[in-house]
Structure 1
Amino acid sequence: MSTQRHPRKIAATIGGVVLATGAVTGVAFAASGNDDTEDPTETEQAIPTTDLDRAEAAALAETGGGTVTETEVDDEESKYEVEVTLDDGTQVDVQLDENFTVVGTESDDR
């Protein structure tokens, strides 16, 4: 049995590990929901608990009901954004100002 090392096999193994690591990192990045149109350093922030009830109530009043499925503070369009899923599965993003007044809505129009 030879104790000689095979540089090509070692290099191939290291290359495979690097390639696999890159693939895993790419999948994790893709799963995070980031795309080229978003600032990768920007993260979504949930509405603080002290404001959450008021934001949800304003959004549900605007949509006439449904279930709040996501919230965000200080997005690119308004102070608060509340995503509501209606009973038919339609999702509506309700934009609110700092006084919880509706300043816009956007539906996925299913």
Structure 2
Amino acid sequence: MERRTKVIGTVVVGVALAAGGIGVAAASGGGDAAEVPDVAITGPDLERASGAALAHTGGGEVTGTEVGDEESRYEVEVTLPDGRQVDVQLDEEFRVVGDETDDETEDGTDDGDDGGGG
């Protein structure tokens, strides 16, 4: 009987903590994912994500990163030598799960690419 009481007490505490966390998240962000600030990738994860993204694009320069992007675990923005930008989506294991190429170069001109991902 004593073991059952301990288990029930632990479950109650866990539920209370989870509910408190939801309340804090709702109060601080209004529950809207669009209001959550971007968090840059750091440390060893930055090195792994950058390496995977650059290998996928065949080169370029990493010009931005984000953890917890709405489309994947990691997003790495790569600027290619011709000025186009590719957003490379990576999963938790740093595997490429998608990409999106911008249609304009850095100087604002259309490069003629159909944006099919590269």
Q: Shorter-chain TM-score category?
A: 0.5 to 0.7
Counterpart residue number, 1:97: 91
Aligned partner of residue 105 in structure 1, secondary structure: strand
Distance 1:68 1:48 in 2: 13
Larger radius of gyration: 1
Q: Please, what TM-score do these two structures have when normalized by structure 2?
A: 0.59
**Residue number among 82, 85, 97 corresponding to 2:79 in the alignment:** 85
Aligned partner of residue 62 in structure 2, secondary structure: strand
Distance 1:69 1:81 in 2: 11
Q: Structure 2 unaligned runs (5+)?
A: 1-31, 105-118
Measure how far apart 1:71 and its partner are. Answer: 0.3
Distance 2:62 2:90 in 1: 14
Q: Structure 1 unaligned runs (5+)?
A: 1-36
Measure how far apart 1:49 and its partner are. Answer: 1.0
Distance 1:91 1:74 in 2: 20
What is the total number of aligned residue pairs between the two structures?
73
Distance 1:76 1:84 in 2: 18
Percent pairwise identity: 64
Aligned partner of residue 86 in structure 2, secondary structure: strand
Aligned partner of residue 45 in structure 1, secondary structure: coil
Q: CA RMSD in A?
A: 1.5
Counterpart residue number, 2:45: 51
Measure how far apart 1:38 and its partner are. Answer: 6.7
Counterpart residue number, 1:39: 34
1:41-86 Cα deviation digits (max 9, x unpaired): x100011212110100000000000000000000100000000000
1:71-108 Cα deviation digits (max 9, x unpaired): 00001000000000000000000000000000000000
Counterpart residue number, 2:6: none
**Residue number among 29, 42, 59 corresponding to 1:65 in the alignment:** 59
Distance 2:34 2:61 in 1: 28
